[in-house]
Amino acid sequence: MFEILLGSLIGLFGFTQTVDTKPQPQGTVNLSQPLTPNGPYRESVQLEPMSQLQFRNVIRQAYDYSCGSAALTTLLDYYLGRNLEERQVMEGLLRYGEADKIVQRRGFSLLDMKRYAAALGYKSGGFRAEFSDLDALEHPALVPIHYAGFKHFVVVRDVYNDHVFVADPALGNISFTRTRFEEIWDQNVLFVIFPSGQEPRNALALNDRDMRLVDDRTVSLLAFREFPQINKITENQVRELGTGGDVIHLRTK
């Protein structure tokens, strides 16, 4: 009886949508459009989690004190083409660096990094620099910063139009304005590792996604439009916040 009823319903209404029950690759999302004369339109797209985008080509520090080893691993892997893990770099820094001082200060120094880079066959050096030197630099550099009350190491990927793009082992791919970066740049020091042989493929080079910045006024305006009931300010007041445009497309050098 049930089979007869089910067959009648299928014959009367037909199928309006097919469902793919086959296993899909991780990150696949199926998008469906309403029915058209030719049936529903479906498309599969691959989505990458924001957490992965944020830390693309950045080694995330494993410990609160290991920003130096993570930043150095980022530079070695994604600029110089090595295939190292942070643990291996930490072991190398302890072996070739000043182990007693590393344990005492719970962190690595630029001297430790220079010695480890030499053990890997690279020439390197720490320099005092001006912002113009950083802007003119043609490859990534490791720099110390003073941020949120702590000393920290990051990799400067590049500088474009007074914006400093950074691979941060704690926060991922972020950027600072020139003014803000100059405030936190610790003693204007930068550490450079020079390639041995031909120029490597630089996976830290900026791409189109990096070239889009949303300013503070736009963020405030989007928040107002998304949740107008909990905002006591008017849209005109929101527009007065910030000083930039809606979306800034930075030009390359």
Per the listing, tokens 């300013």 go with 215
Q: Which residues are catalytic?
A: 67
Q: Which two tokens stand for residue 26?
A: 């991780």
* 30 C-beta neighbours (distance < 10 Å), count: 11
Q: Where are the alpha helices (DSSP H) in the chain?
A: 2-13, 50-54, 67-78, 86-96, 99-105, 110-119, 131-136, 178-184, 216-226, 235-239
Sequence-ordered list of residues with C-beta below 8 angstroms from that of 60, at least 6 positions apart, any chain: 70, 169, 170, 172
Q: Which two tokens stand for residue 17?
A: 């949508």
